[in-house]
């Protein structure tokens, strides 16, 4: 929502209170006065009268359509811009207002007043002056929150509650009744829930409250309780589940001061950084798939047919975007190819088949463009691009020495970008092992689910060219310099006999076995099977692979998990020997048990594909449902939350959270990212939605979801 502006053009950020009137207009109280946003418009208007440029503290809308505002100098009844009527006798400042049954209650440091039509009555009662919120009790009385506890006022008397047996703490700020008529009292420490007889329950950080500073509590039209804190909003549903909304993905500022709901159930949030609106949109998974697919086609497919992220020149603004290269364009276009393959297999849509073919042709182009036998590029960009990642550079002798001490396997690649022979493209070398895994994963499913006989021959020839090149170079991917790229090493000389490659021995052994097995599967050429068996029998690659699930924690990185997931369908789908099949089945079962807690739908559905199960279906669907429609990679920092701890597991070298964040409050997903990550994000990037579409269409193909 755009920020309001004063008459002098100054931006207004601190929003203290918000309400929505009966016609859908939004009203806010700020240090600069009262503003109104007309329904269906995006501009804010100053409200006239004495409240025009004065500090205001509270706005409410009554059932008759009037808006009431508490300001520094009193109480105002507002009918629209320039129509603010000051209520006589009420002394400012007014910090809390409520309306019920034709009466308006106004409270502040200087007193307590009841307004009925034209009658203003000052109430003499024993009440604190630090008044924060009030809510009618439904029986002619009021509950009143203050810095010195909770009051219950009735014309017959007043009661004061401030002991720890009454509240979490004496500092009370926000009040609301839940659907069961329990009073929720938000304040320092969390939320106290009170029934007729007193305190019944507490909600603290251990119960999902992200901050001990609770500022406001409101009941939404769908009976969900919204709790606004210094660290976002936590929502408690009637079924006992809760969900957190924080970060710029959801809010202009994490400190929430007030909340209101319009007639369609949209939540209007008053924060320290402006007004945010969290909208409601009815959508099933199929409609969500359509939404993401449209986004993918409009903003994330670039020539010649690359599925990748979009660059946003203005952080978070998706109205202007630019294509952007990425090291892993080949791998993630492979994910896209697999997605279109499952979409075609599930629906028979000829457009899915056509798009899958285009993606395969791009991946094959990556090999052909290098003009270097079976070596393929990471990605390509038009030759006239002036902005790319990892530009060509030179290294000094001292730089190389420094890097070699830090990483003895470091390879100084000074020329990463090469001009194609036709002059149209720049292609990027130093291709990595994750690219190889992503390609082979995609080829397997394109071959299995989509390709006709002619296309299968094309796929087989392409895979054979790559694997032949690996075998020619002792199972390493040699770059144009004839030496292995930095990461694409599968040779026994390195994996089994060079101690610096010990961290990659198990993973890479698994990878090369899958590549050879796939080549044999699609070509029938016995040389691949012979080499596959040689690596197993003479070089003990199967024994190496056995240790994948027992990886030393110093060398465990989450990205390897996804690479392993790519390989299981190939090994289990292409292997015909029952003994080896049994090994791979047991290996995947053991591996999957280690990955259950990740609640990763790609891993879950790949396991179900390979093992013909229905494991972790609820968690997979929960991820698909909870993923936000906003794919901007907003910075998210879980370290500001008090309901989680900072830990070093499951990946020792990364700071992570103790409880897995749901999709709605983690960094925008790419499956190479650790879902337990504590903080990160880049608002100049919008991720491609293939991360969602791939498991969705796998689930549809497997008939696990509808």
**pLDDT tens for each residue of 98-115:** 999 889 999 999 999 999
Identify the residue with better confidence: 280 or 204: 204
CB contact at 8 A, 503 and 519? no
Q: Are residues 333 and 209 in the same domain?
A: no
Q: Report d(CA 260, CA 69) in Å as an integer.
A: 15
Does residue 153 lie in a domain region? no
Q: Which of 246, 276, 308 is the last residue of a domain?
A: 246
> Exposed (0-12), middle (13-18) or buried (19+): which is 133, by Cβ within 10 Å?
buried
Extract the tokens encoding 674. 């650790």
Q: Return the CATH number at 514.
A: 1.50.10
Q: Which of 215, 246, 277 is the last residue of a domain?
A: 246
pLDDT at 152 over 60: yes
Q: Are residues 304 and 231 in the same domain?
A: no
Q: Are residues 375 and 504 in the same domain?
A: yes
Q: What is the DSSP letter of 440?
A: H
pLDDT at 176 over 70: yes
Q: Are residues 639 and 494 in the same domain?
A: yes
Q: Report d(CA 342, CA 370) in Å as an integer.
A: 30
Q: Are residues 227 and 296 in the same domain?
A: no
What is the count of structural domains for the chain?
Answer: 2
Q: Return the CATH number at 223.
A: 2.40.10.500
Q: What's the confidence (pLDDT) of residue 50?
A: 53
Q: Report d(CA 258, CA 174) in Å as an integer.
A: 9
Does residue 489 lie in a domain region? yes
Q: Are residues 533 and 668 in the same domain?
A: yes
Q: Are residues 478 and 350 in the same domain?
A: yes
Tell me the sheet residues that pair with 67: 61, 78
Q: What's the confidence (pLDDT) of residue 81?
A: 67
- Residues with Cβ < 8 Å from 182, sequence gap 6 or more? 193, 194, 195, 200
Where does the pLDDT of residue 502 fall: very low under 50, low under 70, confident under 90, or very high at 90 and above? very high
Q: Report d(CA 439, CA 374) in Å as an integer.
A: 13
Q: Report d(CA 511, CA 435) in Å as an integer.
A: 11
Q: Are residues 177 and 312 in the same domain?
A: no
Tell me the sheet residues that pair with 37: 26
**For residues 31-38, average pLDDT:** 94
Does residue 659 lie in a domain region? yes
Q: Report d(CA 198, CA 262) in Å as an integer.
A: 31
**For residues 41-55, average pLDDT:** 78
**pLDDT tens for each residue of 569-594:** 999 999 999 999 999 999 999 999 99
DSSP reduced 3-state for 5: strand
Does residue 344 lie in a domain region? yes
Does residue 401 lie in a domain region? no
Q: Are residues 469 and 528 in the same domain?
A: yes
Where does the pLDDT of residue 48 fall: very low under 50, low under 70, confident under 90, or very high at 90 and above? low
Q: Which of 224, 246, 268 is the last residue of a domain?
A: 246
Q: Are residues 229 and 302 in the same domain?
A: no
**pLDDT tens for each residue of 177-187:** 999 999 999 99
Extract the tokens encoding 494. 């390195």
- Containing structural domain, residue 519: 285-387+424-701
Q: What's the confidence (pLDDT) of residue 427?
A: 98
**pLDDT tens for each residue of 544-577:** 999 999 999 999 999 999 999 999 999 999 999 9
Q: Report d(CA 92, CA 111) in Å as an integer.
A: 9
Q: Are residues 289 and 238 in the same domain?
A: no
**pLDDT tens for each residue of 624-646:** 999 999 999 999 999 999 999 99
Does residue 696 lie in a domain region? yes
Rounded to two decimals, the pTM is 0.95
Does residue 152 lie in a domain region? no
Does residue 191 lie in a domain region? yes
Q: What's the confidence (pLDDT) of residue 412?
A: 96
End-to-end CA distance of the chain: 35
Q: Which has the closest alpha carbon to 521: 532, 506, 510? A: 532
pLDDT at 53 over 80: no
Average pLDDT of the chain to the nearest whole number:
96
Q: Are residues 233 and 309 in the same domain?
A: no
């Amino acid at each position: 929502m755009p920020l309001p502006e004063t008459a002098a053009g100054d931006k207004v950020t601190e929003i203290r209170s918000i309400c929505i009137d009966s016609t859908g207009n939004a009203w806010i109280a700020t240090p600069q006065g009262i503003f109104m946003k007309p329904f269906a418009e995006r501009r804010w208007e100053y409200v006239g009268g004495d409240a025009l440029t004065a500090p205001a503290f509270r706005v409410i809308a009554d059932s008759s359509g009037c808006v009431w505002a508490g300001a520094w100098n009193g109480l105002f009844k507002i009918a629209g811009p320039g129509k603010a009527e000051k209520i006589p006798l009420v002394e400012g400042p007014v910090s809390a207002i409520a309306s019920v049954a034709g009466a308006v209650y106004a409270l502040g440091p200087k007193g307590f007043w009841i307004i009925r039509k034209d009658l203003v009555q000052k109430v003499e009662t024993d009440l604190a002056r630090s008044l924060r919120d009030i809510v009618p009790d439904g029986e002619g009385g009021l509950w009143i929150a203050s810095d010195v506890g909770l009051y219950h006022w009735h014309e017959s008397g007043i009661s004061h509650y401030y002991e720890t047996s009454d509240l979490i703490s004496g500092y009370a700020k926000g009040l609301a009744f839940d659907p069961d008529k329990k009073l929720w009292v938000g304040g320092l420490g969390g939320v106290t829930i009170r029934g007729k007889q007193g305190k019944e329950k507490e909600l603290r950080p251990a119960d999902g409250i992200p901050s001990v500073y609770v500022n406001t509590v409101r009941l939404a039209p769908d009976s969900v309780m919204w709790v606004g804190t210094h660290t976002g909003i936590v929502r408690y549903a009637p079924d006992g589940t809760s969900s957190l909304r924080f970060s710029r993905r959801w809010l202009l500022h994490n400190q929430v001061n007030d909340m209101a709901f319009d007639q369609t159930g949209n939540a209007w949030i008053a924060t320290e950084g402006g007004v945010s609106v969290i909208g409601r949109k009815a959508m099933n998974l199929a409609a969500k798939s359509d939404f993401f697919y449209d986004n993918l086609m409009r903003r994330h497919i670039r020539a010649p047919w690359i599925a990748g992220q979009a660059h946003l020149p203005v952080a978070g603004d998706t109205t202007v975007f630019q294509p952007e290269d990425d090291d892993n364009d080949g791998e993630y276009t492979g994910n896209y190819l697999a997605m279109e393959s499952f979409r075609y297999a599930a629906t028979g849509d000829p457009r899915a088949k056509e798009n899958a073919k285009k993606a395969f042709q791009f991946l094959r182009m990556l090999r052909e463009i290098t003009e270097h036998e079976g070596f393929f590029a990471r990605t390509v960009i038009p030759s006239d691009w002036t902005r790319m990642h990892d530009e060509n550079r030179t290294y000094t002798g001292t730089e190389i020495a420094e890097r070699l001490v830090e990483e003895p396997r470091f390879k100084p690649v000074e020329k990463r970008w090469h001009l194609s022979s036709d002059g149209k493209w720049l292609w990027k070398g130093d291709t990595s092992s994750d690219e190889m895994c992503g390609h082979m994963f995609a080829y397997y499913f394109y071959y299995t689910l989509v390709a006709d006989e002619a296309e299968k021959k094309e796929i087989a020839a392409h895979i054979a060219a790559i694997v032949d090149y690996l075998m020619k170079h002792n199972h390493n991917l040699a770059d144009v310099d004839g030496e292995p790229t930095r990461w694409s090493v599968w040779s026994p000389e390195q994996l089994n006999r060079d101690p610096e490659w010990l961290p990659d021995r198990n993973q890479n052994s698994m990878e090369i076995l899958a590549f050879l097995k796939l080549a044999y599967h699609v070509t029938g050429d016995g040389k691949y099977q012979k080499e596959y068996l040689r690596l197993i029998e003479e070089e003990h690659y199967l024994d190496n692979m056995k240790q994948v699930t027992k990886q030393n924690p110093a060398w465990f990185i989450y990205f390897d998990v996804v690479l392993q997931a790519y390989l299981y369908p190939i090994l289990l789908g292409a292997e015909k020997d029952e003994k080896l099949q049994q090994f791979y089945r047991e290996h995947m079962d053991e591996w999957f048990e280690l990955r259950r807690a990740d609640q990763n739908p790609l891993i879950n559905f790949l396991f179900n594909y390979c093992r013909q199960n229905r494991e972790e279906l609820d968690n997979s669907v929960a991820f698909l449902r909870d993923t936000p429609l906003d794919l901007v990679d907003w910075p998210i920092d879980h370290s500001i939350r008090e309901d989680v701890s900072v830990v070093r597991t499951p990946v020792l070298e990364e700071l992570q959270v103790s409880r897995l964040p749901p999709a709605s409050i983690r960094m925008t997903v790419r499956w190479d990212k650790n879902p337990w990550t504590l903080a990160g994000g880049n608002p100049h990037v919008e991720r491609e939605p293939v991360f969602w579409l791939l498991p969705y269409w796998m689930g549809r193909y497997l008939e696990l979801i509808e």
